[in-house]
């Protein structure tokens, strides 16, 4: 089954926690702190795989996670870094943040490999926090938390030319004649449920053409498989509009073109404005004596700057002239491929770095709790706790860092004492 969309959850590795330990050696009874740093968590990386052409691998598994970093060890030992996870995707895959729909990465052109989620940084061991006033710190920095994100993957095919038209107008037959593609061909509506890519070889250079499966009225609103198919035309520079000139199914070819163009306009006006050429197909099925539908198409569209070619995808009549005209159109259009710019930056949504601190119940005094940590010590140094504004600022800091929550988890009661670097406070909710 062809799969051009998938929705998955990705998670980077958590950074390893810093370690708390102290040097213990013979003849060194009071060795200093020697807790090592935690390892970095693994990244989530997307990489283009030339051998892939669908996203079907991501239909059967939802969650992908990089490895967590290891905790630091004694004797200043650094924890091992977590392994990255590399997710391979076909060229042309666009990665969106699932909730907002914003673009995270476009895996096409020169962008072959991109780190989408960075692993958490490892925490510092307690050896980093020794000061003249705190020579035996009992705290270390936790590793940065993992990042988790739900993303939507969409494959938007890379092609110079998009082939559009109603179902059963002969697109698959046309593609099989002009390229090396081998699409399934049958006389049923929506036979082609898979966008097909093929390379047209011409003297002086060719181009890539994509058969966009049959569009129907209402496709821009998602009727039928409209949205799934229309996304594949977003990167094309020129559009070949194939129409059944012989009206073998009783439809009016002029009205067909207007209908499909309306759908393109509704889906994305910028796509509808791209250079277009009309291929009036099935001229081998025209009966002599009837009004010439090709001339009618020319009278209607050529004054508007849209060239009409009479072709037969079955016999090959008129096909070469059409292809050389399209090649000329491509040479006149900008060669720059359509690229989706990044709109969502996961690093902007990082959880704030956790601060190292310890909250413990005093062993010597009843109903007393002791809080230690480098940031707390520093903040007490520059905060004026005598002023109401300064005290409120410090209270807010304790709440935002999770220290108050830790105290409540330890069972602190109103009226109990909280001690921090020579300051004693009474606890009240």
Question: For residue 226, is pLDDT > 80?
Answer: no
The tokens of 234 are what? Answer: 């977003």
Q: To the nearest 10°, report the CA torsion of 148, 151, 153, 156.
A: -120
Residue 143 pLDDT: 84
Q: What is the arithmetic mean of pLDDT over 373-400?
A: 73
Confidence of residue 26 (pLDDT cuts 50, 70, 90): low
Strand partners, 97: 151
Q: Is 327 annotated as a binding residue?
A: no
Query: Within 10 Å of residue 299's Cβ, how many Cβ atoms?
Result: 11
Residue 114: predicted pLDDT? 93
Give 310's strand partners. Answer: 280
Was 394 annotated as part of a binding site? no
CB 429 within 8 A of CB 391: no
Residue 192 assigned ligand-binding role: yes
What is the C-alpha separation between 29 and 53, in angstroms, rounded? 65
Mean pLDDT across the stretch 62-74? 92
User: For 323-351, what is the mean pLDDT?
Assistant: 78
Residue 212 annotated as part of some ligand binding site: yes
Region 102-118: what's the mean pLDDT? 90
Residue 69 to residue 50: CA distance in whole angstroms: 31
Q: For helices 293-301 and 253-267, give the axis angle rounded to 10 degrees.
A: 40
Q: Is position 40 annotated in a ligand binding site?
A: no
Strand partners, 370: 360, 419
Q: 213: annotated binding-site residue?
A: yes
Q: What is the pLDDT of residue 8?
A: 93
223: confidence class by pLDDT, cuts 50, 70, 90: very low
Is pLDDT of 353 > 70? no
54 labelled ligand-binding:
no
> How far lies 87's CA from each of 48, 101, 117, in Å?
9, 20, 12
Is 165 part of any known ligand binding site?
yes
Of 153-167, 187-201, 247-261, 353-367, the one with minimum mean pLDDT is 187-201
- pLDDT, average across residues 33-47: 91
Mean pLDDT of 395-423: 81
Q: How far is CA 277 from the centre of its chain?
A: 34
Instruction: Say whether pLDDT at 87 is over 90.
Output: yes
- Binding residue per annotation — 187? no
**What distance in Å separates the CA atoms of residue 270 and residue 248, rounded to the nearest whole number?**
32
Is 95 annotated as belonging to a binding site?
A: no
Q: Which residue would you say has higher pLDDT here, 399 or 12?
A: 12
What is the Cα–Cα distance from 311 to 245, expressed in whole angstroms?
9
Mean pLDDT for the stretch of residues 284-297: 77
Mean pLDDT of the chain: 79
Model pLDDT, residue 66: 95
Confirm or deny that 214 is annotated as ligand binding.
yes
Reported confidence tier of residue 70, pLDDT bands at 50, 70, 90: very high
Name the residue among 211, 236, 215 with its Cα closest to residue 225.
215
What's the confidence (pLDDT) of residue 104? 92
On whether 164 is known to bind a ligand per the annotation, the reply is: no
* pLDDT on residue 187: 37
Q: For 84-93, what is the mean pLDDT? A: 91
pLDDT in tens, 260-276: 888 888 877 888 888 99
- The answer to whether 138 is a known ligand-binding residue is no
167-185: pLDDT as tens digits: 777 777 888 788 765 544 3
Is the pLDDT score of 155 beyond 90? no
172 is in an annotated binding site: yes
pLDDT reported for residue 110: 86
Residue 414 banded pLDDT, cuts 50, 70, 90? confident
Residue 284 marked in a binding site: yes
Is 190 annotated as belonging to a binding site? yes
The answer, yes or no, to whether residue 134 has pLDDT greater than 70, is no
Cα–Cα distance between 43 and 117 in angstroms, integer? 6
Q: What integer pLDDT is reported at residue 233 of this predicted model?
A: 73
Say if residues 64 and 34 touch (Cβ distance below 8 Å): no
Q: Does 290 carry a binding-site annotation?
A: no
Any binding-site annotation on 202? no
Does 171 belong to an annotated binding site?
yes
Average pLDDT over residues 233-243: 84
**Lowest mean pLDDT, pick from 145-149, 288-292, 295-299, 327-331:** 288-292
Cβ burial of 72 (10 Å; 0-12, 13-18, 19+) is buried
180 is in an annotated binding site: no
């Amino acid at each position: 089954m062809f799969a051009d969309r998938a929705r998955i959850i990705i998670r980077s590795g958590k950074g390893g926690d810093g370690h708390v330990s102290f040097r213990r050696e013979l003849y060194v009874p009071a060795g200093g702190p020697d807790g090592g740093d935690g390892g970095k968590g693994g990244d989530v990386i997307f990489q283009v795989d030339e051998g892939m052409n669908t996203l079907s691998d991501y239909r059967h598994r939802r969650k992908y996670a990089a490895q967590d970093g290891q905790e630091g060890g004694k004797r200043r030992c650094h924890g091992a870094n977590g392994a990255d996870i590399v997710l391979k995707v076909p060229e042309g895959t666009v990665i969106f943040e699932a909730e907002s729909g914003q673009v995270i990465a476009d895996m096409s052109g020169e962008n072959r490999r991109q780190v989408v989620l960075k692993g958490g940084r490892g925490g510092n061991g307690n050896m980093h926090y020794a000061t003249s006033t705190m020579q035996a710190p009992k705290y270390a920095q936790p590793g940065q938390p993992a990042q988790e994100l739900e993303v939507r993957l969409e494959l938007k095919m890379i092609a110079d030319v998009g082939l559009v038209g109603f179902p059963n107008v002969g697109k698959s037959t046309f593609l099989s004649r002009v390229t090396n593609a081998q699409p399934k061909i049958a006389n049923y509506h929506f036979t082609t449920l898979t966008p097909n890519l093929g390379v047209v070889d011409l003297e002086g250079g060719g181009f890539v053409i994509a058969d966009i499966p049959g569009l129907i009225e209402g496709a821009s609103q998602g009727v039928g498989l409209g949205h799934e198919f229309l996304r594949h035309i977003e990167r094309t520079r020129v559009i070949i509009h194939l129409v059944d000139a012989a009206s073998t199914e009783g439809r009016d070819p002029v009205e067909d073109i207007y209908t499909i163009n309306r759908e393109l306009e509704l889906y994305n006006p910028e796509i509808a404005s791209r250079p277009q050429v009309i291929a009036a197909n099935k001229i081998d099925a025209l009966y002599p004596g009837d009004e010439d539908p090709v001339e009618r198409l020319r009278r209607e569209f050529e004054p508007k700057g849209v060239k009409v070619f009479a072709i037969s995808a079955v016999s090959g009549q008129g096909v070469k002239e059409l292809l050389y005209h399209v090649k000329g159109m491509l040479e006149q259009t900008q060669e720059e491929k359509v690229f989706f710019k990044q709109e969502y930056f996961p690093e902007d949504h990082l959880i704030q770095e956790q601060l190292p601190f310890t909250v413990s119940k005093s062993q010597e005094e009843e109903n007393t709790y002791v809080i230690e940590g480098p940031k707390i010590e520093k903040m007490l140094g520059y905060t004026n706790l005598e002023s109401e504004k300064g005290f409120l600022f410090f209270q807010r800091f304790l709440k935002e860092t999770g220290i108050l929550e830790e105290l409540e988890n330890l069972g602190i009661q109103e009226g109990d004492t909280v001690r921090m670097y020579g300051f004693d406070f009474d606890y009240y909710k």
